[in-house]
Structure 1
Amino acid sequence: MPSTLSPEALSPIGAFARAHDPDRFLCALFAPAERREALFTLIAFNHELARAREAARTPMIALIRLQWWRDAVEEAATGKPPRRHEIAGPLHDAITAGLLDPDSLQAMADAREAEAEEEGIPTDGAFGAYLRASAGGFAVAAGRLLGAEGPALAALQEAGATYGLAGVLRSTAALAAQNRCLLPAESLAAAGLTAEAVIADPGSAVPVVATLAGRGLDQVRALHPRLPRTAIAAALPLVLARRDLRRLARGEAVPPTRGLADRLAVTLAGLTRRV
């Protein structure tokens, strides 16, 4: 069982991960203690990539932000000094220590370019590829950090993509408030909708969200990742994805804050090493 971590006991990177990605932070507590700081760093890096478009006034600025992070990763991999940034410093340390794989980190940054496309994500296939590369790429990087390899990494990528799907679906209204829509145009068109219509009225997308959530649940049922005991933390977001997709498939909203039942579900899965 992971040790209880009070805010005072957390490192700055751990506190950052807890504040900005509480789901993955909770899952990270089930990682071996000697890998936990690097996993917190990966969570923080992923958050910075995710907010590249959110924090940018234009898609071009988002692409520049993503390139800044690619350069930071490359500089660490080639032995250059770390950049002066609260996340870039720990990221540099984790890369130079051989804990985080630079290629995996670069792939995560590449995946986020889809969020900067002004025309959005065109097809269901492109949407799936985006999820496997972004949230799925995070799960692969976390798995490598925790000792997973081969088929286990492929299973983790699918599990991570499923968590990413649930994240996009439950954030439809929040994204609309930022004048954004990540739902695939193909699924929207099948329901007589456009991205602009969803941004104007997020409630109109409930049937599309329910359909995509149902497909996600079908994929979850086929997932049975076999992982080394040390790598369970990389798969635990799947527990939350499953719970979220069930709600969304019923047309229900996911509460903005995790309740006790969600946290207990993750804890039980982490303790039993079964997702």
Structure 2
Amino acid sequence: MTVEDSPVAPADLAYCEDLLRELDRDAWLACLFAPAEHRAGLFALHAFNCEIVRVRDAVSAPLPGEVRLQWWRDLLDDAARGGASGNPVAAALIATIGRYALPRAALTALVDAHVHDLYDDLLPTVTDLEGYCGETASALFRLASLILADGGDAGPADLAGHAGVAQGIAGLLKNAARHAARGQIFVPADIVARHQGAQDDILNGRDSAAARAAFADVTALGRKHLAAALALLPSAPAAVAPAFLPLALIEPVLRRVARPGFNLFRDRAEPPQWRRQWHLWRFGRRLRSLKQ
């Protein structure tokens, strides 16, 4: 089956790919390394994620955001199936769920986890941060693996779990300044409490010793999960290996934020686009060599 033979309608597929290329270019590039017959499903999955992630920035208060997220819940519960035809991402997602028998519960849990984004409450503990990343980024890795496995062995679930936590932490480091500007912190409360004044400093964009120490703890957590994911990667079937290509972009972020004098509120935490593309290409070659 080619992309053209996908159950996703061509217009919906084009919309999803354009949306992903605009809002998450790294994910779009990673999808291009996957076999052509599965790209439509991957584009639909990641476009859906883009729609959920951007709800916070699209609304002025939590309640409208809750309404938008509820629409996606209803869609996944079949209550709003009739409305999917008017939304190309929803239509593509429904087609992809049917084609690959994706678990709707995992997609609903992803929507539920992003309710946290609408509010400014701290996640209480490191375990809660890991759980948030597990239901969001880890779920995407697992669902992408299921698409690529196409009914076969999708590999160890722990691989997706560790990969998602590492990616989620890299994301919160990259977006720390943007989160702080809107009054939000993704550093969990138990880490903040270890460093007196860190919460106020982070919210006010102050590059203090306390803020740096709190982010260093989060960075160390990301490194632990990245190491665990990379250790498990050789056990993944060759078919699903492209799902884990985004792992290539985590270490560069963790390394940059750990540099002496790095200021998360002023300095860019991720390499430039050309460099990220090079990391993806190099990691793709590494994955191919692992599976040969």
TM-score by length of 2: 0.81
Q: Which moved more, 1:124-133 or 1:218-227?
A: 218-227
State which of 49, 54, 64 in structure 2 corresponds to 1:51. Answer: 54
Match of 2:204 in 1: 200
State which of 184, 189, 201 in structure 1 corresponds to 2:188. Answer: 184
Match of 1:264 in 2: 278
Distance (whole Å) between structure 1 residues aligned to residue 85 and residue 182 of structure 2:
29
2:253, 2:270 within 8 Å by CA — same for their partners in 1? no
TM-aligned CA deviation for residue 61 of structure 1: 2.5
Match of 1:172 in 2: 176
- CA gap 1:84/1:195 in 2 versus in 1, 3 angstroms: farther
Distance (whole Å) between structure 1 residues aligned to residue 271 and residue 85 of structure 2:
33
SS at match of 1:57: coil
Distance (whole Å) between structure 2 residues aligned to residue 81 and residue 47 of structure 1:
19
Equivalent position amino acid for 2:239 in 1: T
TM-score by length of 1: 0.86
Please give the per-residue CA displacement for 1:101-154, whole angstroms capped at 9, x wherever unaligned.
322211211221222344221212111111111111111111111117465232
Percent identity at matched positions? 28
TM-aligned CA deviation for residue 94 of structure 1: 1.5
Match of 2:248 in 1: 239
Distance (whole Å) between structure 2 residues aligned to residue 20 and residue 200 of structure 1:
27
TM-aligned CA deviation for residue 75 of structure 1: 2.0
Aligned residues, how many? 265
SS at match of 1:210: helix
1:157 corresponds to 2:157: no
Match of 2:258 in 1: 249
Match of 2:4 in 1: none
Gaps of 5+ in 1: 1-9
TM-aligned CA deviation for residue 161 of structure 1: 1.7
Match of 1:98 in 2: 100
TM-aligned CA deviation for residue 45 of structure 1: 0.7
Distance (whole Å) between structure 2 residues aligned to residue 113 and residue 79 of structure 1:
22
- CA gap 1:241/1:69 in 2 versus in 1, 3 angstroms: same
SS at match of 1:88: helix
Q: Which moved more, 1:138-147 or 1:172-181?
A: 172-181
Higher Cα Rg, which structure? 2
Distance (whole Å) between structure 2 residues aligned to residue 201 and residue 270 of structure 1:
36
Equivalent position amino acid for 1:237 in 2: P
Q: Which moved more, 1:106-115 or 1:191-200?
A: 191-200
Q: Give runs of aligned pairs for residues 1-12 of structure 1, distance below 5 A.
A: 11-12=14-15
Equivalent position amino acid for 1:264 in 2: W
State which of 61, 66, 70 in structure 1 corresponds to 2:64. Answer: 61
SS at match of 1:181: coil
Alpha-carbon RMSD: 2.5
2:100, 2:146 within 8 Å by CA — same for their partners in 1? no
**Structure having the larger proportion of residues in helix:** 2
Distance (whole Å) between structure 2 residues aligned to residue 184 and residue 54 of structure 1:
21
Distance (whole Å) between structure 2 residues aligned to residue 143 and residue 25 of structure 1:
16
Please give the per-residue CA displacement for 1:158-188, whole angstroms capped at 9, x wherever unaligned.
1122111100111100112223222212211
2:33, 2:242 within 8 Å by CA — same for their partners in 1? yes
Match of 1:126 in 2: 128
